[in-house]
Amino acid sequence: MIAVDWGTTSLRVFRLDERGHVREQRRSARGILAAEGRFVAVLREEIGDWDDRLIVMAGMIGSRQGWFEMPYVDCPAGLDEIASALQRLPADEFADREIWIVPGLRSRNDSGAYDVMRGEETQICGVLAELASQPQTVCLPGTHSKLATVANGRVERFATAMTGELFELLCSHSVLGRLMQPGEHDADAFAQGVAHAARAGDLLHHLFAVRTLGLFDALQPTQLRPFLSGLLIGHELNDLPTSAGSVHLVGASTLLAAYKAALALRGHAVHEHSELASAHGCYALAKQAGLLTQK
Amino acid sequence: MIAVDWGTTSLRVFRLDERGHVREQRRSARGILAAEGRFVAVLREEIGDWDDRLIVMAGMIGSRQGWFEMPYVDCPAGLDEIASALQRLPADEFADREIWIVPGLRSRNDSGAYDVMRGEETQICGVLAELASQPQTVCLPGTHSKLATVANGRVERFATAMTGELFELLCSHSVLGRLMQPGEHDADAFAQGVAHAARAGDLLHHLFAVRTLGLFDALQPTQLRPFLSGLLIGHELNDLPTSAGSVHLVGASTLLAAYKAALALRGHAVHEHSELASAHGCYALAKQAGLLTQK
């Protein structure tokens, strides 16, 4: 089968054998934004000569801006609930294939608003077999990061943090960004940011420290960017339950190393998972839905 | 005398009589950015035919990016400490005048970093006579808002929140901004944002509610901007000591009405002060420094 992780800004395709092992994979920058609605053509080009009949797609491809809008499945939800809600895409252009889309998840959070995910539920499905049945914390870094609680094979609830997007905004467009100079990664400055986030005060106040620590030479201009990165990731982790001992780090984001460092600094044991979680999740869902037995 | 409040993006000039009453005032958009270093020419044009010998200037004009960099005075500081640190500008082009610049203030905050202000100290000096001697909370809204504690006529400490800047960034450049539609001011949506800020969770998480409340039609696209405004101001006010009963609202920011509403929603009594606080502060400092008695 072919697994497709099609997000806003990236597209990954995987070819798996009948036991679910990834045999080949490709990555491109043709996310749903860059695809500009040419989903059939882009998918055909990306899978090339892979002739597998079954294709399972996850991510923003199932959103209003994607190929086919899928309703959200409410938490708690595991393999069973998500697999039951897969929908087959009516794609005449792919008459020789069978294309299924994975739905996103919806969680009502403590503040009364909903949280939503598209794609991360599939990554979680890909690591479910490795999680104990008692409540586990899963962290999925990204532009809109997710912190999820998984118990008994189901996503109980999750929260989104706009960490990655705010970091890019502040670096590109704020007064703080204008003070920054590019430099080597600076683990000390990053750790200072993580520590700063744990102190009293709201993020709106802490952000100004990027300016004043630079103003009074406590940080060099090259250190402001890693400090800000640590500060924001630290603030996201402030929402982790203090009881969350170990944390499962899942995904293929370039931010994984930074989150691993921040979690360790905060005293959490970190379990790293395969960056193929997305492909494994598509396989697990196809299997649960009985799609693999169809020949 | 002439009082000048010269900030990053705006310039206000006031003409005061010998008792400190504002007789004339002008406002322009020629802040230090727009003035592009032509400070002499801009000031001369703005004061026009006002022939008063004494000019007292406050704000970012005394920063590294301004006309003449003034060192910061450390908190606690009141009229005495600030007036002692006024410096006369060596401006040959203004040989017929006597131009003084007010220093900014610096406060070491709870998280170990410094906070700084330039201009707000003068606004506070302008209302000091109206503040009781026991600790008072003064809120000065703006791009970089300040919450200050004033006791016995001195600024004890203060904190900066990047509320205004972050609001503009998110509206102009984020995924949230793309969901917004312009509309009338919506007091209900604003109040919902203020209430949301008081709930559990970090700002990074709460920001995503702007997206999901829109996604599930709890807020209309025209309500997202006032909701975000309330959410950010509410987060800034989370740092107010719960013991802070009444709050003094000072400044001339267009945000004053929003802060007044948010403070009232949070149960604080609000004392509003004259938007001429800046001019009154320049006068009070000139008087304290003995500059008014020189003829």
Is the pLDDT reported for residue B295 higher than 60? no
Is the pLDDT reported for residue B68 higher than 80? yes
Q: In this predicted structure, what is the pLDDT of residue A243?
A: 67
Contact A64, A10 (CB under 8 A): no
Q: A205 to chain B: which residues are within 8 Å by CB?
A: 109, 111, 159-162, 236, 239
Angle (deg, nearest 10), helices A203-215 and B203-215: 130
| A225 phi and psi angles, rounded to 5 deg | -65, -50
Q: A112 to chain B: which residues are within 8 Å by CB?
A: 196, 199
Q: A170 to chain B: which residues are within 8 Å by CB?
A: 169
Q: B239 to chain A: which residues are within 8 Å by CB?
A: 201-202, 205
CA distances from B1 to A129, B7, B32, B53, B119 (A): 77, 19, 22, 7, 18
Closest CA–CA distance from residue B231 to any residue of chain A (Å): 11
| B170: nearest CA partner in chain A | A169
Closest CA–CA distance from residue A84 to any residue of chain B (Å): 23
Torsion-angle region of A140 (φ positive above 0: left; ψ -120 to 50: alpha; else: beta): beta
Residues in chain B whose Cβ is within 8 Å of chain A: 109-116, 144, 159-163, 165-166, 169-170, 172-175, 196, 199-209, 212-213, 215-216, 218, 232, 235-236, 238-239
Strand ranges, E, within A98-239: 98-101, 105-108, 114-117, 136-140, 145-151, 154-161
Q: In this predicted structure, what is the pLDDT of residue B294?
A: 52
| B168: nearest CA partner in chain A | A174
Closest CA–CA distance from residue B16 to any residue of chain A (Å): 34
Inter-chain touch B115–A215, beta carbons under 8 Å:
no
pLDDT tens, residue order, chain A (295 aa): 999 999 998 999 999 999 999 999 999 999 998 998 999 999 999 999 999 999 999 999 999 999 999 999 999 999 999 999 999 998 777 888 999 999 999 999 877 789 999 999 999 999 999 999 999 999 999 999 999 999 999 999 999 999 999 999 999 999 999 999 999 889 999 999 999 999 989 999 999 999 999 999 899 999 999 999 999 999 999 989 766 689 999 987 789 999 999 999 999 999 999 999 999 999 999 999 999 975 4
Which residue among A115, A162, A201 sits closest to B159, beta carbon to beta carbon? A201
Contact B4, B56 (CB under 8 A): yes
Inter-chain touch B174–A165, beta carbons under 8 Å:
yes
DSSP A238-292: TTS-TT--EEEE-S--TTHHHHHHHHHHTT-EEEE--TTHHHHHHHHHHHHTT-S
Helices and strands per DSSP (H, E), number in chain A: 11, 15
Q: How far apart are CA A65 and CA A240, in angstroms?
A: 31
| A8: nearest CA partner in chain B | B175
Q: Which of B55, B139, B53 is nearest to B102 (CA)?
A: B55
Closest CA–CA distance from residue B292 to any residue of chain A (Å): 34
Closest CA–CA distance from residue A18 to any residue of chain B (Å): 38
Q: What angle do CA A229, B148, B106 make, to 5 degrees?
A: 65
Inter-chain touch B173–A175, beta carbons under 8 Å:
no
Q: How far apart are CA A285 and CA A5, in angstroms?
A: 13
Inter-chain touch A111–B209, beta carbons under 8 Å:
yes
Q: In this predicted structure, what is the pLDDT of residue B94?
A: 83
Is the pLDDT reported for residue B156 higher than 60? yes
| A161: nearest CA partner in chain B | B205
Q: In this predicted structure, what is the pLDDT of residue B244?
A: 67
Q: B228 to chain A: which residues are within 8 Å by CB?
A: none
A-B Cβ pairs (cutoff 8 Å, strict): 133
Contact A76, A119 (CB under 8 A): no
Q: Is A71 helix (H, G, I), strand (E, B) or coil?
A: coil
Per-residue confidence band for B243, with pLDDT thresholds at 50, 70 and 90? low
Is the pLDDT reported for residue B76 higher than 70? yes
Buried b (16+ CB within 10 A) or exposed e, B119-145: bbbbbbbbbbeebeeeebbbbbbbbbb
CA distances from A246 to A138, A191, A199, B111, B205 (A): 9, 19, 22, 27, 21
Counting Cα atoms < 13 Å in the Cβ hemisphere of B256 gives 15
Residues in chain A whose Cβ is within 8 Å of chain B: 109-116, 144, 159-163, 165-166, 169-170, 172-175, 196, 199-209, 212-213, 215-216, 218, 232, 235-236, 238-239
The strand pair at B11-16 and B22-28 is best described as antiparallel
The CA radius of gyration of chain B, in Å to the nearest whole number, is 20
Inter-chain touch A111–B238, beta carbons under 8 Å:
no
DSSP state of A70: P
CA distances from A121 to A99, A110, B107 (A): 18, 20, 46
Inter-chain touch B174–A175, beta carbons under 8 Å:
no
Q: Which amino acid is at B188?
A: D
**With the C-alpha atoms ordered A231, A235, A241, A242, is the resulting torsion angle positive or negative?**
positive
Contact A77, A125 (CB under 8 A): no
Inter-chain touch B203–A170, beta carbons under 8 Å:
no
| A201: nearest CA partner in chain B | B239
Residues in chain B: 295
| Model pLDDT for residues B183-242, shown as the tens digit of each residue | 988 999 999 999 999 998 999 999 999 999 999 989 999 999 999 999 999 999 998 976
